[in-house]
Chains A and B, each alone.
Chain A
């Protein structure tokens, strides 16, 4: 198999694809978000539960149920590892940093930013394939939407419009 595929499907991505950290229904939860990738039919429902400590609200737990390609499922597993226990501000920063990586056409971010992404830095190569960027971002879109609902105490479950 060509090198390009091994760069895209890094071992850490395939490991997370199999491990599926955070997979399963979370209950109780504060908010959830359902997201679809209409080009390939990938779907995820992601739930989030917050903790309210002295440092402001933080993510206590994430749970997700979905089906999709290795990239989308691995990205959800990595997301779980990165955000549980972090404050909302930290999660927002991670979300923005990951988005920046995905729009970088395969280039790494400055070292400190790249390192902050942990296992998610393995997705650098995904950004070379425009059709796969949405796969990697699916879980992060769901997380951002769920957190917005959780923080505004809107009713759970937000469905964003499908991207066309």
Chain B
């Protein structure tokens, strides 16, 4: 059940969009060239509305204390804020609060699962954990060629530690997952880890089909939902995945907080990754018993103010409505693709068909390195991403070393995209490569 990504009703009116923009103080600033900021790097990190900034400040001003320890009033209030945030974020993605583990970011969430599997392989967590998560030589982990390094390198490392093998789903010429390679999911597959939406090509993956293939062979499924949760309605339980990760800072929330969803039955059996304070039941000099999930996976003092900020962010998105967010951004996707495609010598990397595609558009400019493209746009106040976007293999597959990337958010306007496209049109002339 991939979320529907189609043009349509329910998009924001001009007045609503103006009101949204007014909620983001940073959008009022100018850049070093004196021009207004055109922020087209939301896939790297989103900007923050005032309510998120206020929520963090309010927490520090009124309720700051360490959570799940201490019996004083502040500790109680801080713990309540922390757990309320968990409940709100869990509800936002359609899961129960006890299935949502706070992490520093999505990268930590993926590493948590990878190291828990490693520990289970070594017998930590007992026989049931070993059966569920343990790996042996001959076992396979399947990823895709589209993955961010965060959903690739931890699995390479897990394979190196356990003797399991890494295999991957390939890409079509336009950067979508290639169904002709889905057969790589087979009897040996123990885990299928894939991105819900690519941070380079913007392509949304066919989750239902891949989950069905994993189910048919009894493999676990981990979904990297970093790019989808901020931009589409996402119901993780309906998607049927076993694990999912996402980052707060990409969804209008603060940096330093992300979440791992794990199916309750799995978290109950999974051994911990980071160990230490507050994830324990009883500690003696001879050994330790561990707390139930999710506390078992939350060692040490937690990022309380950030969870409170993320709570405000999901409330904000919830009030807008994720259908409206998706509809607004879909119209931006169409304008981005059409605009970029209209510039001579510029090529979209990834699908130009806007169905099942997010407003994340990587592109190459003939004769000009992405870094130079970004520099000229920056001079015009337009902030885009340049480089490999932490996804080198997808660039290798598309035949480039690096790319430039424009990505929109809920606060992006069509006028901003027009400014970007107009400036993009000056780049090849500036570097003297526009003469055939």
**C-alpha spacing A93/B33, complex, angstroms:** 35
Q: Are B371 and A135 in contact (CB under 8 A)?
A: yes
Q: What are the residues of chain B within 8 A of A5 when measuring CB–CB? A: 375-376, 379, 430
Q: What are the residues of chain B within 8 A of A129 when measuring CB–CB? A: 375
Q: What are the residues of chain B within 8 A of A41 when measuring CB–CB? A: 387-388, 392, 395, 401-402
Give the size of the chain B interface in residues (CB under 8 angstroms). Answer: 22
Is B394 positioned at the interface, with any CB of A under 8 Å from its CB? Answer: no
- Asked, given contacts A40-B386, A40-B402, whether A1 binds B372 with beta carbons under 8 Å apart, the answer is no
Is A10 positioned at the interface, with any CB of B under 8 Å from its CB? Answer: no
Q: Are A14 and B369 in contact (CB under 8 A)?
A: no
Q: What are the residues of chain A within 8 A of B33 when measuring CB–CB? A: 2, 4
Is A160 positioned at the interface, with any CB of B under 8 Å from its CB? Answer: no
Which of A26-34, A64-72, A80-88, A110-118 is near enough to bind chain B?
Answer: A64-72
Closest beta carbon of chain B to A80's beta carbon, Å: 19
- Asked, given contacts A2-B33, A4-B379, A42-B371, whether A67 binds B430 with beta carbons under 8 Å apart, the answer is no
Is A23 positioned at the interface, with any CB of B under 8 Å from its CB? Answer: no
Secondary structure call for the A interface: mixed
Q: Are B371 and A2 in contact (CB under 8 A)?
A: no
Is B281 positioned at the interface, with any CB of A under 8 Å from its CB? Answer: no
Interface centre among B32, B369, B430 (most CB of A within 10 A): B369
**C-alpha spacing A9/B387, complex, angstroms:** 19
Is B426 positioned at the interface, with any CB of A under 8 Å from its CB? Answer: yes
A-facing residues in B368-386 (Cβ within 8 Å): 368-372, 375-376, 379-380, 386
Q: What are the residues of chain A within 8 A of B372 when measuring CB–CB? A: 9, 69-71
B-facing residues in A1-31 (Cβ within 8 Å): 1-2, 4-5, 8-9, 14
Interface string of B355-377 (1 = CB under 8 A from A): 00000000000001111100110
Q: Are A40 and B375 in contact (CB under 8 A)?
A: no
- Residue of A whose beta carbon sits closest to that of B35: A2
- Asked, given contacts A1-B426, A9-B430, A40-B386, whether A71 binds B371 with beta carbons under 8 Å apart, the answer is yes
- Residue of A whose beta carbon sits closest to that of B32: A4
Give the size of the chain A interface in residues (CB under 8 angstroms). Answer: 20
Is A144 positioned at the interface, with any CB of B under 8 Å from its CB? Answer: no
Is B431 positioned at the interface, with any CB of A under 8 Å from its CB? Answer: yes
- Residue of B whose beta carbon sits closest to that of A18: B432
Q: Are B371 and A69 in contact (CB under 8 A)?
A: yes
**C-alpha spacing A56/B426, complex, angstroms:** 50
Interface string of B400-436 (1 = CB under 8 A from A): 0110000000000000000000000010001110000
Closest beta carbon of chain B to A75's beta carbon, Å: 13
Set B32, B370, B375, B388: member contacting A132, Cβ < 8 A: B375
Interface centre among A43, A69, A70 (most CB of B within 10 A): A69
Closest beta carbon of chain A to B425's beta carbon, Å: 12
B-facing residues in A26-67 (Cβ within 8 Å): 39-43, 67
Q: What are the residues of chain A within 8 A of B395 when measuring CB–CB? A: 41
Q: What are the residues of chain B within 8 A of A42 when measuring CB–CB? A: 371, 402
Closest beta carbon of chain A to B45's beta carbon, Å: 15
Q: Are A70 and B431 in contact (CB under 8 A)?
A: yes
- Residue of A whose beta carbon sits closest to that of B378: A129
Q: Are A39 and B401 in contact (CB under 8 A)?
A: no
**C-alpha spacing A75/B27, complex, angstroms:** 36
**C-alpha spacing A8/B388, complex, angstroms:** 23
- Asked, given contacts A5-B376, A5-B379, whether A14 binds B387 with beta carbons under 8 Å apart, the answer is no
Set B32, B371, B376, B379: member contacting A40, Cβ < 8 A: B371
- Residue of A whose beta carbon sits closest to that of B387: A40
9 tightest A-B CB contacts, nearest first: A69-B371, A69-B369, A40-B387, A41-B402, A41-B388, A40-B371, A5-B379, A70-B372, A69-B372
Interface residues of A (CB under 8 A from B): 1-2, 4-5, 8-9, 14, 39-43, 67-71, 129, 132, 135
- Listed by A's residue number, 15 A-B pairs whose Cβ atoms lie within 8 Å are A1-B376, A1-B379, A1-B430, A39-B387, A40-B386, A41-B392, A41-B402, A42-B402, A43-B401, A67-B401, A68-B371, A69-B370, A70-B372, A129-B375, A132-B375
Task: Known A-B contacts: A8-B375, A14-B432, A41-B401. Give 7 more (CB < 8 A).
Answer: A2-B33, A2-B380, A40-B388, A43-B401, A67-B401, A68-B371, A69-B372
